[in-house]
Amino acid sequence: MTQPDPSSRPHIPAASPESPEQGKPAGFRYYDGHSAQPHAVDIRPAGSYLQIVSPAGASMASWSLDSIVLPDFMNLPYSLIHLQKGGQDTGERLTVMDGAAHDRLAPLLLGVRTNARRTSLNKWLRVCAAVWLLGLLLWWGFPYATDAVVSLVPVDAEIALGEDVRDQVGAMLARKNAGKVLHCGNPAGMAALDALTERLSLVDESPYPMSVSVINSGIVNAFAAPGGAILVTSGLLEETESPEELAGILAHEMGHVRERHGLRSMAGVYGLQVLGLLFSGNSKGVFGDTAQGLALYMTTSSWSRDFERAADAHAFTLLRKAGLNTQGLSTFFERLEKDAEKDKNLFPALAMLSSHPATAARIAMLREMEQAAGKPEYALVSVMSAEDWKAVQNICQ
Amino acid sequence: MELQENDVLYAGGASNGQGTPQAAPVQGGGFTFSGEGRDGFRQFVAFKGSGWELFKICIVNFLLTIITLGIYHFWAKVRVRKYLWSHTVVEGEPLEYTGTGKELFFGFLIVAGVFILYMVLQMVLERIHPGLSVLAALLLLPFWFFATYRAVRYRLTRTRWRGIRFNLSGSAWKYMFLALGQSLLNLITLSLWYPKSCAVLRKRIIGNIWYGNRNFTFSGKAAPLYVSYLVAVLGIIGFGVAGFMLADLPTAFLQMNSNPGPEGFKSLAIAMGTFYGMLILGVLVSQWFMCVLIRWEVGNTGFPGVRFRSSLTFGRYFWVQVSNLFLVLLTLGIGTPWAAVRSLKLYLNTLDTEGSLDYAHLAQDAQEAPKFGEGFLEAFDVDLAV
């Protein structure tokens, strides 16, 4: 490599297409990595080297073929990069200006091209394998990781968080009159509800104090916030036809509380978002958002199906222990399904079904449990008196 | 412009080696410069990328990002940049991007760490008092300024032209405080300070940009911007107020609700038409100012031996912006690569220059780019989604 000397550059002609008498320029420009000064040059193959020569024929540089890096895109004009022994960039460049120059250079670089392709393919295969391994590990390990995090959360904190969640959700869903939330809770109804909750709690052996509140809303849904705060909509109370059904639903929600499903799914979603942020960068754009949203939905809905199944099983055991009729929950599901079939546009019912596993499968599971458990050892007690049931149904008046 | 006695330019055609400017267009590197056609100025940059090629890159990137569970994202970014840089041909010679996906990945890990800390802080503050989380949000602003400066430095140190590196000197912390001060002044003066803050911040960034051992300069003053700025602001306010005054939308909606029919529909249509018409006029004015700002920015940027100018016209600018918007919206985002190429052509191909660079004395800066003692912090290259 020659050192540039700006004071004497006799070998650089004023090469331009306008001066054809000096011969056509070869279409290469050489930069020595020290200055931005272009040198009109020509190339000459020399075994495993590429020689860069001045128009006068003097050698300006000699690049070993395996020290040449091709640019990612070889649209003209493009520049070849020259590396040092250790792989460091020398700053030297050879710019290929036109098609004729490219045609002369390309055959010399065939080997370089194949090599580069092979190395990058190898690298990618290894990286892909590593990434998939990591992904699988995460897929299996993630639920355990979130459970570990959740088990660190003290019960007090969970209860406080749950109350926040309950108030927020309640305010969001409730009917409003001139901006004021309409409350439900006539004393007789609330007393009956609390008595039922108390009865179930006694056999639940749960560390959480259960409290049920009713939201004034047309939506048919029940909701368990972390820490024992259970929400039931008035729409749900209208939809249920017997106290047994209500007892089943309450026991189901208590299952969610006991297994800390609320906290677990919150931690899971939060963790997934952080992971998604880590992995995808913050790729804004249609593609990135859709892919991420889809992945999040698929993962969380698969968890929630597991959670629902667990809560159903819990509900069954709880009702059995309390000596109550265990068929309420399945009766309720059956009617919901019938309603949905009757009127596919019945949004409230569909809203409840959406994140829940196929209702038919849940009914079948409950029936199976019923059969496996056999006849109850004790005579069933009634859930509540007809009078109390009436008060519960009119709880919003 | 003094030309060096033996200054040979192979592209640009500003000199034929004898120091006399050439009038005729000169073939340089396979494309024609318009010589000295534009009153001494000639086209400086030619963007040669194509939307179709960029689209193909984006599609492959998208698929690879999916099968690598997102990790490829960083390498995808590098590939797009390599394409854009290498198709930006400056005076016959392409730019070169030398950043790597690995650098971006590690840079992102650092930022992600900061981000997680930030989220935890926000949660803690929110638990103490709901109002306190605003405090955490306020912390994001200085961080954003800091990161912007770092990102500019990262990109410049990873850009080469004719084998020579760019660089950004100066401290990101100082820039952060400067930018914070300017935002505060904008807040206090209800944005009347804006042109001045443009001048101050541009001067700080552009004045610290280096190509090899030479420094860019920025001589922009706020005064010439003020007239356009005030016209634009008054225009936006005027059209906004006119939109609300002339188009009584609430009444029209009420009327439509109370007696729906052709009558109500007509008055609603007129109200909507007036409102959106005024909105479009307001946008037009703001776009006009953006165009003025770009010309001011480019025109006041200097480099030893050369001057720059942007020949961007408002008509062209506005047309490209509007057509790009439709191009992206109507294709549901598929047209984004084409829109990007069109924007780049708009900005870059209108860059003109006058004079000639002293190539022989433009030497590589002795300082190696990553040796700023900040390790991967250099790769602070993120488009933060705040």
CB within 8 Å: B73 and A4:
no
At B10 the pLDDT is 36
Range with the lowest mean pLDDT among A238-247, B94-103, B209-218, B363-372?
A: B363-372
What number is the ipTM of this complex?
Answer: 0.75
- Residue B84 or A160, more confident: B84
Q: How confident is the model at residue B366 (pLDDT cuts 50, 70, 90)?
A: low
Chain B CB contacts of A3 below 8 Å: none
Residues forming CATH 2.30.29.30 domain(s) in chain A = 1-152
Residue B280 has pLDDT above 90, yes or no: no
CB within 8 Å: B383 and A6:
no
Residue B313 has pLDDT above 50, yes or no: yes
Burial group, residue B291, by CB count within 10 angstroms (0-12, 13-18, 19+): buried
pLDDT in tens, A46-78: 888 999 998 888 888 999 888 899 998 989 899
Average pLDDT, chain B: 80
Give the whole-angstrom CA distance, residue A61 versus residue A42: 11
A286: nearest CB among B116, B160, B333: B333
Q: Please give the residue of chain A at the shortest CA–CA distance from B11.
A: A16
pTM: 0.67
Average pLDDT, chain A: 79
Chain B CB contacts of A18 below 8 Å: 26
Cβ–Cβ pairs < 8 A, chains A and B: 150
Cβ-contact B310, B295 below 8 angstroms? yes
User: To the nearest whole angstrom, how far is the Cα of B376 from the nearest Cα of chain A?
Assistant: 16
pLDDT in tens, B110-150: 777 777 777 778 777 877 777 777 777 777 788 888 888 88
Note the CATH architecture for domain A1-152. Roll (2.30)
Chain B CB contacts of A81 below 8 Å: 96
Residue A340 has pLDDT above 90, yes or no: no
pLDDT in tens, A165-176: 888 888 877 877
Q: Please give the residue of chain B at the shortest CA–CA distance from A291.
A: B66
Scan for tokens 């981000």, then name that residue.
B115
Q: How confident is the model at residue A290 (pLDDT cuts 50, 70, 90)?
A: low
- Residue A115 or A173, more confident: A115
User: To the nearest whole angstrom, how far is the Cα of B235 from the nearest Cα of chain A?
Assistant: 32
Residue A2 has pLDDT above 60, yes or no: no
Assign residue B151 a region: left if phi > 0, alpha if psi is -120 to 50, beta otherwise? alpha
Residue A87 has pLDDT above 60, yes or no: yes
Q: How confident is the model at residue B12 (pLDDT cuts 50, 70, 90)?
A: very low
Domain residue limits, chain B: 222-297
